[in-house]
Homo-oligomer: A and B are copies of this chain.
Amino acid sequence: MRQDSRAVRNVLFIMCDQLRADYLSCYGHPRLRTPNIDALAARGVRFTSAYVQGSVCGASRMSTYTGRYVASHGAIWNFVPLSVGQKTLGDHLRPHGVRCALVGKTHVEPDVEGARRLGLDPSHGEGRLAMEGGFEPYARDDGIWPPGFKVSGNAYCDWLRARGYVSDNPWHDFANSGRGPDGEILSGWEMRWAREPAAIEASHSETPYTTDRAIDFMREAGDRPWLLHLSYIKPHWPYVAPAPYHALYGPGDVLPAVRSEEERSASHPVMQGFQRDTASRSFSRDEVRATVIPTYMGLVRQVDDELGRLFAFMRDQGLDRDTLLVFTSDHGDYLGDHWLGEKEMFHDPIVRVPLIVVDPREEADATRGSTSDALVECIDLAPTFLDALGLPPAPQWLEGESMVPLLHGQPGAHGKDMVVCENSYAFRDEVRLPLGQPVERCHMTMLRTRRWKFVHFEDLPPQLFDLEQDPQELCDLGRDPAYAAVREEMLARLFDWLRARKRATTIAPSAIESWNARERKAGILIGAW
């Protein structure tokens, strides 16, 4: 009899913000070293074709937290509230006795209007959870305050002040800014200061603070099973790192931008719009890349160091034996590739994310240290967690598939034929206004199969890349007459995908299947003579 000595009891779900898959040494970066994340990969499966479902933080995270595509949960961009009608990971776990807690960032925007409509109390109980995307906010911190903003009620800022970093906005003034020769603040919001060390001790910066809170949580958690979403804000901008991380890498470690002259002169109209963006114009200059990217790398390295500390703690506590561990990101960062900065479009630097999954069970021993190029999506995480914890699936809600068969190397487990990512350019005037598009016609949908990446736009030509011939996605075939048949096939796939969305969330398929039997039992016989 197999002894199930290593059942999954807890889930540690680690996410970075704006971390590109290729900025980790285990994913092939030639200069950046991330030994602790690499060691994680050696303990689990490293997915090389994992895709997010939204290309900005908010939409991507809401997909991961609900296990549903953007078209299904409706939170189409950053700061779009997650409807109180959506069911989240926490809602799936909590009734089964699994605590679902957050340390760090979620970018969940509360559905205040929905709460008012339903008379929810947003500060207590279920109402509060609904406003927090289903996570118990053990230590929530979404970060990101502009200079001059007076931050109050934020635990990290208060913690900084208690350590002598006193200002209205210590997050900005210390953790995310350097100092000039006369002590003046060199704001991290201006990228020219990226090589300056942050005006803070490394151990007081955001990443260690967040790690400490995760350790606190694990110490206090006791015997009740938990899922902890440990969600680092870094390496997201402002691109400022504390010493020594600001200086670990230099301009010589910066890889050349992936871009072509054709992309600049004749790119897709929506891409042209994003290329006009401030961040894109900045990152198209080599000086900016040489200044910012070493610091981005330093911030990644700091995350890796902190994870090393966390993993050591978990080993000490024996938590590595029964915890399913996931490491991923919400999307990448262009860093000048394709003449773009930030995110929003669907090139691989943005939508392909690192994904490492460590399943502690014996059944996963055969795949430890392996890589998988199976197409997988971040919406697959929620069903994976339910599956690993032995909880029932929720097929009327969850649109992803459990990855456990892949983790256990089961025959026939080979991932998906297609992955999908969505975004809307409605929120960016410099993209939308020149195109004269109404906001409701700015939705963009990416389909990626093994060979093709296709992006559908309303009222505009599509983008199409042949990933076999052009893995760097430099040659857009979206208007090339030779590829009309491929585009037709991808359109048909989009149509099929749209029709298959899960909209009837209030009834389980099993209840539908047994409908007639229950009707007969109730004595209902319609149309009898």
Using Cβ atoms and an 8 Å threshold, which residues of chain B touch A499? Answer: 443, 458, 498
CB distance from A186 to the nearest CB of B (A): 13
Q: Residue A405 at the B interface, CB < 8 A?
A: no
Query: B125 near A504 (CB under 8 angstroms)?
Result: no
B84 adjacent to A526 (CB under 8 Å): no
Among the stretches A44-52, A113-121, A214-222, the one at the interface with B is A113-121
Q: Which residues of B contact A86 (CB under 8 A)?
A: 85
Taking a contact as CB atoms closer than 8 A, the residue among B126, B439, B495, B503 that contacts A71 in the complex is B503
A81 and B506 in contact, given A147-B523, A149-B523, A516-B428 (Cβ under 8 angstroms): yes
Residues of B within 8 Å of A148, CB to CB, are 523
Give min CB distance, A343 to chain B, whole Å.
10
Report whether A342 and B527 are in contact in the complex, using a CB–CB cutoff of 8 Å: yes
Given A84-B85, A428-B516, verify A527-B341 contact (CB < 8 Å). Answer: yes
A118 in contact with B120 given A74-B504, A341-B527 (CB within 8 Å): yes
CB-based contact A189/B525 at 8 Å: yes
Give the number of times this chain occurs in the complex, counting copies: 2
Contact status A191-B515, CB under 8 Å? no
Residue pair B429, A503 in contact (C-beta under 8 Å) = no
Interface pick from A6-14, A204-212, A279-287: A279-287
- The answer to whether B72 and A85 have CB atoms under 8 Å apart is no
A440 at the interface (CB under 8 A from B): yes
Tell whether, in the assembled complex, residue A189 and residue B528 are in contact, meaning their CB atoms are under 8 Å apart: yes
- By beta carbon, the residue of chain B nearest A430 is B516
Is A146 interfacial (CB-CB < 8 Å)? yes
The 0/1 profile, CB within 8 Å of B marked 1, for residues 50-91 of chain A is 000000000000000000000110111000111111110001
Whether the Cβ atoms of A91 and B117 lie closer than 8 Å is yes
Cβ contacts under 8 Å, A83 to chain B: 85, 505-506
B189 touches A440 (CB 8 A): no
Q: Is A305 an interface residue (CB 8 A)?
A: no
Distance of A233 from chain B, by nearest CB (Å): 15
Asked if A118 meets B111 with Cβ closer than 8 Å, knowing A149-B523, A191-B527, the reply is no
A485 is an interface residue with CB less than 8 A from chain B: no
How far apart sit A97 and B333, CA to CA, in the bound complex (Å)?
49
Bound together, the chains give a CA A147 to CA B523 distance in angstroms of 8
A512–B84 touching, CB < 8 Å: no
Complexed CA–CA distance, A191 and B528 (Å):
6
Instruction: Report chain B residues within 8 Å CB of A1.
Output: none
In the complex, the answer to whether A526 meets B118 with C-beta atoms within 8 Å is no
CB contact between A503 and one of B72, B81, B341, B504 (< 8 Å): that residue: B72
Q: A439-477 toward B: CB 8 Å interface, digit per residue (1/0)?
A: 110010000000000000010000000000000000000
Chain A stretch 329-378: residues in CB contact (< 8 A) with chain B: 341-342
If A74-B503, A83-B505, A523-B147 touch, whether A191 touches B495 (CB-CB below 8 Å) is no
Q: Determine whether A263 belongs to the interface, using a CB cutoff of 8 Å to chain B.
A: no
Q: How far is the CA of A428 from the CA of B520 in the complex (A)?
A: 12
List, in ascending order, chain B residues with CB within 8 A of A417's CB: none
**Distance (Å) between the CB of A349 and the closest chain B CB?**
15
- CB pair B282–A528 under 8 Å, yes or no, is yes
Is A192 part of the binding interface, using a Cβ–Cβ cutoff of 8 Å?
yes
Those of A98-142 within 8 Å (CB) of chain B = 109, 111, 113-114, 117-120, 125-127, 130
Chosen A-B contacts, 12 in total, with CB atoms closer than 8 Å, are A72-B503, A74-B503, A74-B504, A75-B506, A76-B503, A85-B114, A117-B126, A119-B120, A191-B529, A278-B527, A281-B527, A498-B498
- Residues of chain A at the chain B interface (Cβ within 8 Å): 71-72, 74-76, 80-87, 91, 109, 111, 113-114, 117-120, 125-127, 130, 146-149, 189-192, 237, 277-283, 285, 288, 341-342, 424, 426-430, 438-440, 443, 458, 491, 494-495, 498-500, 502-507, 509, 512-513, 515-516, 522-529
